[in-house]
């Protein structure tokens, strides 16, 4: 009996080589930029393919009774891809098992269903735990599919018996832990890459996007701001004097709070960027300048009326702003930004604490110094 179990384990270990293909395919999905809706089905297809490969050359225990690692594939599809992956992997694997035929068809189908359900329940209860201990627990739990052996015809049950149970249990544990750990490492790498990417595009003081995002937008603005857009360029008035008078900690707080006021006023599809120093750039998606200038003026008023306090003393903070819009002849983000910067220069020349529209000689009335 020990020799039989050893033979099964060795044969099943050969199938683990398929894990490399599964991991590579999974990596391609994780690195793709497709809508998340398709991630689950894609994972299901990959694991269905992996299960099919293992079922083509299985370990035959008795005529019609075969052993492979399909239940591991189905279980991990459910854990890493969710319910859609579980449904697709299970359906494809069940269809192939029925096509193969033999005395073990019914228990084989039941074992696949048990593996899928157990893994989905495990993922729901544990929150999708994928560390080594969690994967070991899952490997043990999917061994509940051993109950399906009771559905074998009597002669097949006698022929196979329960002597192979240790090998099958070892298969579930080892296969789930090894393949699951490799897949979890891919998830971890992708999450770390996404975190580094966010940090590279984010200003640490204000939490806004940084200028690098404008470079990306310049090359693919149609996906973010539509066919036309406007830009507001804000500048905190007398910011150097605020720093010199009240200290850099207060200056940092002012910058962060001004950034928050601006970001909270804008829509989700707009882009708010710390352009440099005390300048904040807003790319307003699908908005003409006549609408954008009203938004800029509203923000200017909010900032002027905000409560900035240092050492028990109220400090009034104001901003100047320049507004410009795109056109058929000026689709570049940086070209529009240059126009907004010229309008900002006009606003500062007009006494600060006002909003100017590029190309307009008349501007909004000053709100006072």
Dump the DSSP string for 125-187.
HHTS--SHHHHHHHHHHGGGGGGGGGGS-HHHHHHHTTTTHHHHHHHHHHHHHHHHHHHHHHH
Structure tokens, 68 = 């492979």
Tell me, what CATH number does 224's domain have?
3.30.70.270
Give me the number of domains the chain comprises. Answer: 2
What is the domain extent for residue 179? Answer: 2-199
Q: How far apart are CA 109 and CA 65, in angstroms?
A: 12
Residue 277 predicted with pLDDT over 60: yes
Q: How far apart are CA 104 and CA 107, in angstroms?
A: 6
Question: Do 181 and 230 fall into the same domain?
Answer: no
Residue 364 lies in a domain: no
Question: Do 130 and 223 fall into the same domain?
Answer: no
Catalytic residues: 278
Q: DSSP 3-state assignment of 229?
A: strand
Q: Give pLDDT tens digits for 216-232.
A: 777 765 555 556 899 99
Neighbour-count burial of 208, counting CB atoms closer than 10 A to its CB (0-12 exposed, 13-18 middle, 19+ buried): buried
Within 267-311, residue ranges assigned H as helices are 289-305
Final residue before a domain boundary, out of 153, 179, 199: 199
Final residue before a domain boundary, out of 199, 227, 261: 199
Reported confidence tier of residue 356, pLDDT bands at 50, 70, 90: very high
Question: Do 148 and 276 fall into the same domain?
Answer: no
Q: Give pLDDT tens digits for 93-137.
A: 999 989 888 777 888 889 899 999 999 999 999 999 999 999 999
Final residue before a domain boundary, out of 199, 224, 241: 199
Residue 206 lies in a domain: no
Structure tokens, 224 = 């973010």
Question: Do 285 and 139 fall into the same domain?
Answer: no
């Amino acid at each position: 009996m020990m020799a039989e179990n050893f033979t099964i384990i060795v044969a099943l270990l050969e199938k683990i080589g398929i894990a490399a293909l599964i991991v590579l395919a999974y990596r391609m999905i994780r690195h793709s930029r497709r809508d998340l809706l398709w991630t689950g089905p894609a994972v299901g297809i990959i694991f269905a393919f992996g299960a099919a490969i293992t079922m083509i050359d299985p370990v035959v225990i008795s005529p019609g009774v075969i052993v492979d690692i399909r239940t591991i594939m189905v279980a991990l599809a459910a854990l890493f891809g969710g319910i859609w992956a579980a449904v697709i992997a299970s359906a494809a694997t069940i269809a192939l098992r029925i096509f193969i035929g033999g005395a073990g068809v019914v228990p084989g189908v039941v074992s696949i269903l048990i593996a899928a359900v157990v893994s989905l329940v495990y993922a729901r209860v544990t929150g999708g735990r994928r560390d080594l201990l969690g994967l070991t627990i899952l490997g043990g739990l999917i061994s509940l599919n051993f109950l399906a052996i009771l559905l074998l015809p009597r002669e097949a049950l006698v022929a196979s018996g329960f002597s192979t149970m240790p090998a099958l249990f070892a298969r579930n544990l080892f296969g789930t832990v090894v393949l699951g750990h490799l897949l979890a490492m891919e998830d971890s790498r992708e999450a770390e890459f996404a975190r580094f990417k966010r940090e590279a595009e984010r200003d640490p003081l204000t939490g806004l996007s940084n200028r690098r995002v404008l470079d990306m937008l310049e090359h693919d603005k149609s996906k973010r701001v539509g066919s036309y857009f406007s830009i507001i360029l804000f500048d905190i008035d007398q910011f150097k004097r605020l720093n010199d008078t009240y200290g850099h900690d207060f200056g940092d707080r002012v910058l962060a709070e001004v950034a928050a006021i601006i970001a909270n006023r804008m829509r989700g599809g707009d882009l708010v960027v710390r352009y440099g120093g005390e300048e904040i750039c807003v790319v307003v998606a699908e908005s003409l300048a006549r609408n954008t200038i009203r938004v800029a003026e509203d923000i200017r008023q909010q900032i002027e009326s905000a409560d900035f306090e240092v050492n028990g003393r109220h400090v009034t903070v104001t901003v100047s702003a320049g507004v410009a819009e795109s056109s058929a002849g000026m689709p570049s983000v940086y070209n529009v930004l240059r126009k907004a910067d010229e309008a900002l220069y006009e606003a500062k020349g007009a006494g600060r604490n006002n909003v100017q529209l590029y190309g307009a000689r008349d501007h909004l009335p000053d709100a006072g110094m």
